[in-house]
Amino acid sequence: MSLPRDDALDRVAAILDTVESEQLPVPVREVWVYGDLALGLDPVDRLDVYLTKDILLGGDASRADEFEAEYGVQGVGQTVRTEWADAYPEHLRANANGHAAPEKCLGAHLLPDDDEPVHLEVCNASFDDNVTQRLAGAKRREDWSTLLDPRGVCLWVDGQRSDEAMRKLRESELALPTLSRALGMLGLEEEQAQAAASELHDWREQQEGATVRGDVV
């Protein structure tokens, strides 16, 4: 399943509208798109969206036991907002340990259609910083599937939407290098960059429907 380019852009616009107008489980600072959409491809095999979130600090966990009893999810008020859980209990999601998982809650809120070919990356670090961190980690482990495609476009930051960036996406004005060349510009040798690009493409092709991945840097 793929998305016509215009539909993918409309989907991104809907995500931006949600981030701007609705309360989310945790504060969001940045919204990026990367990969196929940034490259101007049509159709878009997978829509890749990156969110920079803040870690919830000073939350009200006084009702955590109430949410755990009713929904089986621990940590409401500690890792996700109590007010959000009140408004959107259907989007509460837990990690393997049973605690509220911010990235999964964001995914449930922003990607309600499980069949959409949309991938959401969630991290507390900005896109550029995480690209560098992921690259360093992938080199140490020799696992290129954990890389972030560095060809990204920032559409929203600290409450400000970039209409110009969206216009350039809609008009396919951005000139971006191949993935292997982009990785080479970040310091990988040519052979490494080609192997990394191939492995990352293979990993993406194995993904189906809406997917979410989160990490903390």
Asked if the model's pLDDT at residue 19 lies above 80, the reply is yes
pLDDT at residue 96, rounded to an integer: 94
Residues 7-23: what's their mean pLDDT? 97
Alpha helices by DSSP H, listed for 22-155, are 36-39, 64-71, 82-87, 102-110, 127-141
pLDDT at residue 58, rounded to an integer: 74
Q: For the segment 62-106, what is each residue's pLDDT rounded down to a tens digit?
A: 999 999 999 999 999 999 999 999 999 999 999 999 999 999 999
pLDDT at residue 137, rounded to an integer: 92
Residue 127 pLDDT grade (very low, low, confident, very high; cuts 50, 70, 90): very high
The span from the CA of 125 to the CA of 206, in Å, is 26
Task: List CB contacts of 46: < 8 A, sequence separation 6 or more.
Answer: 2, 35, 36, 117, 118, 119, 204, 207
| Neighbour tally for 80: CB within 10 Å | 28
Q: Closest by alpha carbon to 116, among 26, 39, 4, 28?
A: 4
Check: CB of residue 162 under 8 Å from CB of residue 135. no
Q: What pTM did the predictor assign?
A: 0.94
Asked if the model's pLDDT at residue 61 lies above 90, the reply is no
Asked if the model's pLDDT at residue 15 lies above 80, the reply is yes
Residues 173-179: what's their mean pLDDT? 90
pLDDT at residue 178, rounded to an integer: 92
Mean pLDDT in the chain? 94
The span from the CA of 35 to the CA of 49, in Å, is 9
Residue 55 pLDDT grade (very low, low, confident, very high; cuts 50, 70, 90): confident
DSSP character string of 160-188: EE-HHHHHHHHTT------HHHHHHHTT-
pLDDT at residue 216, rounded to an integer: 76
Q: For the segment 178-201, what is each residue's pLDDT rounded down to a tens digit?
A: 999 999 999 999 999 999 999 999
- DSSP β-bridge partners for residue 100: 94
Q: Which two tokens stand for residue 195?
A: 């192997």
Residues 200-207: what's their mean pLDDT? 91
